[in-house]
Amino acid sequence: MAARHTDTREEIVRIGTQLIKSHGYNAFSYADISEQLQIKNAAVHYHFRGKEDLLAEVLDQYIDQYQLLKKQLVQLNASATFAMEKFIERYSILVDANSICIIGSIASDYNTLPESVKEKVHQLVTMVLKMVEETLASGKRSGEFQFSETAKTQTLLVMTNLAAGVQLARITGKKDYDTIKRAIIRQLKG
Amino acid sequence: MAARHTDTREEIVRIGTQLIKSHGYNAFSYADISEQLQIKNAAVHYHFRGKEDLLAEVLDQYIDQYQLLKKQLVQLNASATFAMEKFIERYSILVDANSICIIGSIASDYNTLPESVKEKVHQLVTMVLKMVEETLASGKRSGEFQFSETAKTQTLLVMTNLAAGVQLARITGKKDYDTIKRAIIRQLKG
DNA sequence: ACAAAAACTTACTATTTAGTCAGTTATTCT
DNA sequence: AGAATAACTGACTAAATAGTAAGTTTTTGT
């Protein structure tokens, strides 16, 4: 009796992603996944030879998600404000799920990862930063946003506020994250 | 033949600290420590019953270090500018060592830690934030710093910039960290 | 010098983990 | 319906890991 789940492979990726964000990459095993799905260890290995392969797929899906989000924002002809709201929302959701962003999680374990995966992380980070930079630059041109730094620098400031804000929230609570979030918006909105 | 090192206990803490910052808490084992010190596994257990106990000691030492730093800054009658330089310097050193800050590292594994350790992490974070907040507030009073947010909010912004900046540097390189660092100083210095 | 205490080593155990492979069951394609 | 393929299970192995207990060596204090 195979395929007890609509798509086991996708379920594995889903749970893997969740485990990385909640417990950290080096803190979970294939057993954690197989138990949740009520399948055997070997079934996870069937879909993903090793943990690195699973991580690579998780990262690929993030890259896809961001590409899709970008496409949607273009199609909607979304304002820079709306786009930034969407970006920020992703982090707020993490806080409510007692999770942290995948990049922040992986940054901790970065030195234990094989080169191929490091490259994929780099690709994802570069992509997200580029998207936000373009959004901030466009928002400045349209008069929606105001900031004196370059768009690139402002992006680094905003994204580090968000990423570490989510991490901090785990330790000191949601209030600190909310303070950070409001400050970011206040600064951009002048 | 015991005590091959001046103080094995301290060496264990030193290596443990380093491993957490470079590989992550859940990515190292007692074997990593015992091999480096050329002692047996059991010797590490003699000093620290379990990994959590070692982590607790690592955190205690950080708390002590920050208390000492605070004391020194008071004794020197240091300016807010000098104090902030000292705080920021700690993060710059991490970047050069391809490490991340201990709090950022632990944030990833936070949900896998026992309550007693979580409390210690909370204590450390609260302490550091309080110190920086006081420094920023004092710098504002003296006219050294300028910012429109409250000292507490500005602290959250600056510290999340630094913490995530160090994490980002691992992935995209030192340049991004330097950009962030310069922006922080620029903003505070008006 | 010698007893007590501290700092180990030796030698284990139990558990977890990653991973393999041959065989079984289910699905899809023709 | 039957063959091919996909998706598993069962039954392992090898290595890593946390941890313990008993005994040995070293250091410290008297």
pLDDT (tens digit, 9 = 90+) per residue, B79-125?
999 999 999 999 999 999 999 999 999 999 999 999 999 999 999 99
Q: Do A100 and B109 touch (CB under 8 A)?
A: no
Alpha-carbon distance of A58 to B70, in angstroms, equals: 43
Question: Is A110 among the domain residues?
Answer: yes
Query: Within an 8 Å CB–CB cutoff, is residue A171 touching chain B?
Result: yes
Q: Do A171 and B125 touch (CB under 8 A)?
A: yes
Average pLDDT for chain A: 96
Which of A1, A30, A4 lies closest to A15, judged by CA?
A30
More confident residue, B2 or B17: B17
- Check whether B41 has a pLDDT greater than 50: yes
Name residues 84-123 of chain B within 8 A of A (Cβ).
Answer: 98, 100, 103-105, 107-112, 118, 121-122
Residue A79: predicted pLDDT: 98
Residue A190: predicted pLDDT: 83
Residue B90: predicted pLDDT: 97
Query: Within an 8 Å CB–CB cutoff, is residue A43 touching chain B?
Result: no
Q: Do A110 and B171 touch (CB under 8 A)?
A: yes
Pick from B103, B108, B167: which is nearest to A24 by CB? Answer: B108
CATH number for position A104:
1.10.357.10
Token representation of residue B126: 């609260």
Q: Do B121 and A156 touch (CB under 8 A)?
A: no
- pLDDT digit string, tens, across residues A126-173: 999 999 999 999 999 999 999 999 999 999 999 999 999 999 999 999
Which of A123, A103, A113, A119 lies closest to A164, judged by CA?
A103
The nucleotide minimizing the C1' distance to residue A43's CA is: D8
Tell me which residues of chain A have a pLDDT lower than 70. 1-6
CA of A37 to C1' of C30 (A): 33
Q: Give me the phi and psi of B6, to 5 degrees please.
A: -50, -45
Query: Within an 8 Å CB–CB cutoff, is residue A22 touching chain B?
Result: yes
Residue A50: predicted pLDDT: 94
Token representation of residue B107: 């944030």
Question: Is B122 among the domain residues?
Answer: yes
Q: Do A172 and B122 touch (CB under 8 A)?
A: yes
**A18-22: long-range contacts, CB 8 A cutoff, minimum separation 24:** A18/A99, A20/A55, A20/A58, A20/A102, A20/A105, A20/A106, A21/A94, A21/A97, A21/A99, A21/A100, A21/A101, A21/A102, A21/A105, A22/A97, A22/A98, A22/A99, A22/B111
| Residues counted in chain B | 190
Question: Is B32 among the domain residues?
Answer: no
- Check whether B44 has a pLDDT greater than 50: yes
Distance from CA of B22 to the nearest CA of A (A): 7
Token representation of residue B86: 């000292």
Question: Is A143 among the domain residues?
Answer: yes
Structural domain total, chain A: 1
Question: Is A169 among the domain residues?
Answer: yes
- Check whether B66 has a pLDDT greater than 60: yes
Residue B3: predicted pLDDT: 45
Residue B190: predicted pLDDT: 83
Q: What is the sign, positive or negative, of the torsion defined by CA atoms of A153, A158, A163, A164?
A: positive
Rg of chain B over all Cα atoms, to the nearest angstrom: 18
Residues of B in contact with A109 (CB under 8 A): 23-24, 27, 108
Report if CB A29 to strand C is under 7 Å.
Answer: yes
Question: Is B85 among the domain residues?
Answer: yes
Token representation of residue A114: 């094989």
Task: State the residue range of the domain holding B81.
Answer: 52-188
Question: Is B35 among the domain residues?
Answer: no
Which of B71, B92, B104 lies closest to A170, judged by CA?
B104
| Residues counted in chain A | 190
Span B138-161, mean pLDDT? 98
Residue A158: predicted pLDDT: 98
Question: Is A180 among the domain residues?
Answer: yes
Residue A4: predicted pLDDT: 52
By the 8 A CB rule, do B19 and B83 touch?
no
Residue A3: predicted pLDDT: 44
CA of A45 to C1' of D12 (A): 15
In what helix (H) or strand (E) does residue B36 lie, and over which residues does it extend?
helix B30-37
**Angle separating helix axes B80-96 and B51-75, nearest 10 degrees:** 150
Characterise B38 by phi-psi region: left (phi > 0), alpha (psi -120 to 50), beta (else): left
Residue B1: predicted pLDDT: 39
Token representation of residue A17: 């992603």
